[in-house]
């Protein structure tokens, strides 16, 4: 009897440590951040723990914040699109490779994840700077006369973030490609479908779940990315994450920074859950 | 002219030979099975006909035309894959109509033909179902309908029933044969199940290690196996050592059996268990084992020629007990000369 009971409670005990970590490291700080966003702050009085909507009103009314959030989501959407456009075909090619070549290429693909984000982004800065390799190359080829501006521009940030985040898209799409019946392409071909028709009508609809989960990861990571926008965007090109960082560490206005962080989190959750619902309903039969 | 001709078809994967010098002629409307153990090159042969696998050497002629330069999408063959390879994101009707759509057939005709095909395979009323919500047997029917609806020149079936349980498989065998008869499509079936091949086919191609061992009607291949491999692969058999006299007769345990084409010297002959009879005037043996199988008894008998397997129908006649001495005989016509080596 008692053995059966302890048997039944075992899962809870086993889940306990992870639950504690989750509670202690995620839920409590999150709750405190939300609370913090309602505190008052002044240049000389510092943080005052009394309830005010001041920070939220400031964010809602000051167009500067609107601009930063708009830029953040614009960059995230562009990065997600770029990852889909490049990553999906790349995953397909990877899936069709012979095992030997595949492991080599897979290593190249996830390479960016193995390099420290700072080193990688600095590499991009060297490459994309006005005296960087890309500009020198383009000028040497006579394609441009004046250097293109990548540094401190959204284009530069989008390129760098795409590079960092594309492995997530590729791995995610690849996982769903592997679940495909290897004969399904042959079946479509035998029925008279050409390469692009097979792609559009047979393969793509079946990897939608993979594309979606990849897109969610990429979008979330792009929207909350800090290092790449900080190094390539510089101080001029603020995104939500660098803005919150500035409020916390430069202005020392913690409550306002907390409000920015909470808003970013809420917006992300809403966008992700919303798009997930939408696509899930559209492709219900694929998701089972 | 034969409908489909395979001429000296060869295919290797690196050093491994998958199919070696395969010759086959298939007549219009015929049902031919490629039968052999796993890895003997059946699927490879089928995929070469379908165009998914390149041909190393040899030719494939359909109605006299060489298929070498025709891509799979243009061959117009209906294929049922072992895994069915249905499109999981499309309904049954969409799956079946796909091939018609690719052929640019108008909506009205497409719908009519899809309905007809679903009726043919017994799937009326399943149009809006998704494959995942169907049983293995139903998915198999969808795959068959999808292949047949395009009115293919050839129907290629790769182990289509191997994923079904035994009872359903038998049911589907009968149905498959009946559907094939009614539409009259030339059909090539790949299987490793000798019962399936014998139940369904007009002719069987027995393959082993990428080579053809024997081609013939099911009863011929079963009754007159050309090689020890065929004799053993198609059901149980007794292999007896014999001595040929070079004049059309062989000597088995002192009995002279006329066998056309028997060479002089030691040969192997095969006799099916159900063709061995208990009769006076046969050679002596002792019953070692007796197993009841419902419709018949399986008797193991020890003789000078080794252990023999006999099948006695459960027809009310007395069955010898274990340890009993018996005489075993067979009709000369029931003996088949095996051409290469002895049975393992
Ligand atoms: N893509 C492939 N690469 C390498 N070897 C293969 C490939 N496909 C089949 N083979 C080999 O060719 C032989 C015949 O295979 P297959 O035609 O699939 O046999 P079956 O369908 O009769 O079981 C097997 O030995 C198999 O290992
Ligand atoms: Mg096979």
Query: Considering only A73-77, A244-248, B150-154, B202-206, which range has the smallest mean pLDDT?
Result: A244-248
Q: Which residues contact A53 (CB under 8 A, 6 or more apart)?
A: A38
Are B58 and B10 a contacting pair, CB within 8 Å? yes
Most confident among A150-164, B72-86, B315-329 (mean pLDDT): B72-86
Chain segment B176-203, per-residue pLDDT in tens: 999 999 999 999 999 999 999 999 999 9
Q: How does residue B245 score in pLDDT terms, banded at 50, 70 and 90? A: confident
* Domain locations along chain A: 28-287
**Residue A27's CB: how many other CB atoms inside 10 A?**
11
Query: What share of chain A has pLDDT > 90, as a percent?
Result: 52
pLDDT class of B211 with cuts at 50, 70, 90: very high
Alpha carbons A23 and B276: distance in angstroms, whole number: 80
Q: Where in chain B is the domain with CATH 3.40.50.300?
A: 4-223
Pairwise CB contact (< 8 Å): A188 & B87: yes
> Residue B341: is its pLDDT beyond 70?
no
| Spatial contact of B70 and A189, defined as CB atoms under 8 Å apart | no
- What is the three-class DSSP state of B302? strand
Eight-state DSSP code of residue B275 = G
**Count, residues in chain B:** 344
**Helix H segments across chain A?**
2-22, 28-36, 54-61, 63-96, 99-114, 117-128, 133-140, 154-178, 184-190, 195-197, 204-223, 227-228, 240-249, 254-282, 284-287
Range A102-110 average pLDDT: 90
Q: What is the mean pLDDT of residues A80-87?
A: 97
Position B252 pLDDT exceeds 90 = no
Burial of B179 (0-12, 13-18, 19+ CB in 10 A): buried
Shortest CA gap A196–chain B (Å) = 12
Take residue B192 and report the two structure tokens written for it. Answer: 């490793």
Q: How far is the CA of A248 from the centre of ligand 2 (A)?
A: 65
Is A186's CB within 8 Å of B146's CB?
no
Q: How many residues does chain A have?
A: 288
Whether residue B12 has pLDDT greater than 70: yes
* Average pLDDT score over residue span A111-124: 84
Residue B29: pLDDT band (50, 70, 90) is very high
CB A74 within 8 Å of CB A156: no
Report which protein residue has its CA nearest ligand 1's atom 7: B13
**In whole angstroms, what separates CA A92 from the centre of its chain?**
21
Joined together, the tokens standing for residue B8 give 């000296």
Compute the distance between CA of residue B228 and CA of residue A12 in angstroms, rounded to an integer: 63
Cβ–Cβ under 8 Å, residues B176 and B197: no
How large is the ipTM? Answer: 0.83
Calpha distance B314→B293 (Å, rounded): 9
Which residue has a Cα nearest atom 24 of ligand 1?
B39
For residues B270 and B238, the answer to whether their CB atoms sit within 8 Å is: yes
CA distance A200 to A177: 14
A193 in contact with B at a CB cutoff of 8 Å? yes
Written as six digits, the tokens of A254 are 């913690």
- CA A231, CA A169: separation in Å to the nearest integer? 23
Alpha helices in chain B (DSSP H): 42-50, 72-75, 92-102, 107-120, 136-148, 166-183, 194-200, 218-223, 228-233
Contacts of B300 (CB under 8 A, 6+ apart): B287, B288, B289, B290, B291, B307, B308, B309, B310
- Does the beta carbon of A98 lie under 8 angstroms from any beta carbon of chain B? no
Residue B53 has pLDDT above 70, yes or no: yes
Q: Judging by beta carbons within 10 Å of its beta carbon (0-12, 13-18, 19+), is residue B249 exposed, middle or buried?
A: middle
Annotate A79-116 with b (16+ C-beta within 10 A) or e (fewer). Answer: bbebbbeebbebbbebbeeeeeebeeebeebeebeeee
**Long-range contacts of residues B263-269, Cβ cutoff 8 Å, at least 24 apart:** B266/B241, B266/B242, B267/B242, B267/B243, B267/B337, B267/B338, B268/B228, B268/B239, B268/B240, B268/B241, B268/B242, B268/B337, B268/B338, B268/B341, B268/B342, B268/B343, B269/B239, B269/B240, B269/B242, B269/B335, B269/B336, B269/B337, B269/B338
Q: Does the pLDDT of residue A2 top 80, yes or no? A: no
Homologous superfamily of B228-337: Nucleic acid-binding proteins (2.40.50.140)
In this structure, are residues A192 and B147 in contact, taking their beta carbons and an 8 Å threshold?
Answer: no
Sheet containing B277-292: which strands, arranged edge to edge? B306-313, B296-303, B277-292, B325-329
pLDDT score, position B191: 95
- Give one DSSP letter per residue of B2-19, joined into a string: -SEEEEEEEEEETTEEEE
pLDDT at A286 (0 to 100): 60
Q: In chain A, which residue's Cα lies nearest the Cα of B96?
A: A191
> pLDDT digits over A127-180, tens only?
888 888 888 888 888 888 888 888 888 998 999 899 989 999 999 999 999 999
Backbone dihedral region of A212: left (phi > 0), alpha (psi from -120 to 50 degrees) or beta? alpha
Judged by DSSP in three states, B197 sits in helix
- pLDDT, residue A149, reads 81
Give the span between the Cα atoms of A172 and A15, in whole angstroms.
27
| Secondary-structure class of domain A28-287 per CATH | mainly alpha
The correct answer on CATH 3.40.50.300 for the domain covering B4-223 is yes
The number of C-alpha atoms within 13 Å of B114 and in the hemisphere containing its C-beta is 22
CATH 2.40.50.140 domain extents, chain B: 228-337
More confident residue, B261 or A37: A37
**pLDDT the model gives residue B343:** 37
Q: Which of helix, strand or coil describes residue B115?
A: helix
Q: How confident is the model at residue B342 (pLDDT cuts 50, 70, 90)?
A: very low
pLDDT-based confidence at B340, cuts 50/70/90?
A: low
How do residues A228-281 score in pLDDT, each as one tens digit? 899 888 888 899 999 999 888 888 888 999 999 999 999 999 998 998 888 788
Q: Which residues contact B306 (CB under 8 A, 6 or more apart)?
A: B240
Chain A, 155 to 184: residues with Cβ < 8 Å from chain B are 181, 183-184
Task: Using pLDDT thresholds of 50, 70 and 90, give the confidence band for residue A288.
Answer: low
Which range among A42-51, B52-61, B271-280 has the greatest average pLDDT? B52-61
Hey, are the CB atoms on B73 and A194 less than 8 Å from each other? yes
What's the rounded mean pLDDT across residues B30-54? 96
| B262–chain A Cβ distance below 8 A for any pair | no
Report the mean per-residue pLDDT for chain A: 89
A22, two tokens: 């989750």
* Residue B105, min C-alpha distance to chain A (Å): 12
Protein residue with its CA nearest to atom 5 in ligand 1: B13
Radius of gyration of chain A (CA): 24
What's the CA gap between A88 and A172, in Å, rounded? 9
């Amino acid at each position: 009897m008692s053995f059966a009971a302890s048997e039944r409670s075992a899962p809870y005990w086993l889940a306990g440590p992870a639950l504690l970590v989750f509670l202690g490291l995620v839920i409590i700080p999150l709750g405190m951040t939300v609370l913090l966003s309602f505190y008052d702050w002044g240049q000389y009085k510092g943080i005052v723990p009394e309830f005010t909507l001041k920070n939220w009103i400031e964010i809602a009314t000051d167009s500067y914040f609107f601009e930063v959030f708009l830029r953040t989501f614009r960059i995230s959407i562009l990065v997600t699109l770029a990852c889909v456009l490049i990553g999906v075909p790349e995953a397909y090619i990877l899936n069709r490779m012979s095992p030997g070549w595949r492991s080599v290429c897979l290593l190249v693909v996830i390479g960016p994840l193995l390099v420290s984000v700072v080193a990688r982004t600095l590499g991009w800065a060297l490459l994309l700077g006005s005296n960087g390799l890309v500009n020198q190359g383009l000028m040497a080829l006579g394609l441009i006369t004046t250097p293109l501006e990548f540094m401190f521009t959204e284009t530069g940030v989008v390129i760098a973030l795409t590079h960092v985040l594309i492995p997530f898209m590729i791995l995610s799409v690849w996982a769903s490609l592997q679940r495909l019946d290897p004969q399904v392409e042959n079946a479509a071909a035998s029925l008279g479908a050409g390469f692009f028709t097979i792609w559009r009508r047979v393969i793509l609809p079946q990897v939608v779940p993979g594309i979606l989960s990849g897109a969610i990861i990429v979008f979330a990571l792009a929207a909350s990315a800090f290092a790449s926008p900080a190094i390539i965007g510089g101080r001029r090109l603020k995104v939500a994450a660098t803005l919150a960082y500035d409020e916390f560490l430069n202005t020392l206005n913690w409550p306002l920074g907390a409000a920015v962080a909470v808003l970013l989190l809420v917006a992300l959750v809403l966008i992700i859950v919303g798009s997930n619902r939408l696509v899930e309903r559209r492709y219900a039969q694929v998701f089972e | 002219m034969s409908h489909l001709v395979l001429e000296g078809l060869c295919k290797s994967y690196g050093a491994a030979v998958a199919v070696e010098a395969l010759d086959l002629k298939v007549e219009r409307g015929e049902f031919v099975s490629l039968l052999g153990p796993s890895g003997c090159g059946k699927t490879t042969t089928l995929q070469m006909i379908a165009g998914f696998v390149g041909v190393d050497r040899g030719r494939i002629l359909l109605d006299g035309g060489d298929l070498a330069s025709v891509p799979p999408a243009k061959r117009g063959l209906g294929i049922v894959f072992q895994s069915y390879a249905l499109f999981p994101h499309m309904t049954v009707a969409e799956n079946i109509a796909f091939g018609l759509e690719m052929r640019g057939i108008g909506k009205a005709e497409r719908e009519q033909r899809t309905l007809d095909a679903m009726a043919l395979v017994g799937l009326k009323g399943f149009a809006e179902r998704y494959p995942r919500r169907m049983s293995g047997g139903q998915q198999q029917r969808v795959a068959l309908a999808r292949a047949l609806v395009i009115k293919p020149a050839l129907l290629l079936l790769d182990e289509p029933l191997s994923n079904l349980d035994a009872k359903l498989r038998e049911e589907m065998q009968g149905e498959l044969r009946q559907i094939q008869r009614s539409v009259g499509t030339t059909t090539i079936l790949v299987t490793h199940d000798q019962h399936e091949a014998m139940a369904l086919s007009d002719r069987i191609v027995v393959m082993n290690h990428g080579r053809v061992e024997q081609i013939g009607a099911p009863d011929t291949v079963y009754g007159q196996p050309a090689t020890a491999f065929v004799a053993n692969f198609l059901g149980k058999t007794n292999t007896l050592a014999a001595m040929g006299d070079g004049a059309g007769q062989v000597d088995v345990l002192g009995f002279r059996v006329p066998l056309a084409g028997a060479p002089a010297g030691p040969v192997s002959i095969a006799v099916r268990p159900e063709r061995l009879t208990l009769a006076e005037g046969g050679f002596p043996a002792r019953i070692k084992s007796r197993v009841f199988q419902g419709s018949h008894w399986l008797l193991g008998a020890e003789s000078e020629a080794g252990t023999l397997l006999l099948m006695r129908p459960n027809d009310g006649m007395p069955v010898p007990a274990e340890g009993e001495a018996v005489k075993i005989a067979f009709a000369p016509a029931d003996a088949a000369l095996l051409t290469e080596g002895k049975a393992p």
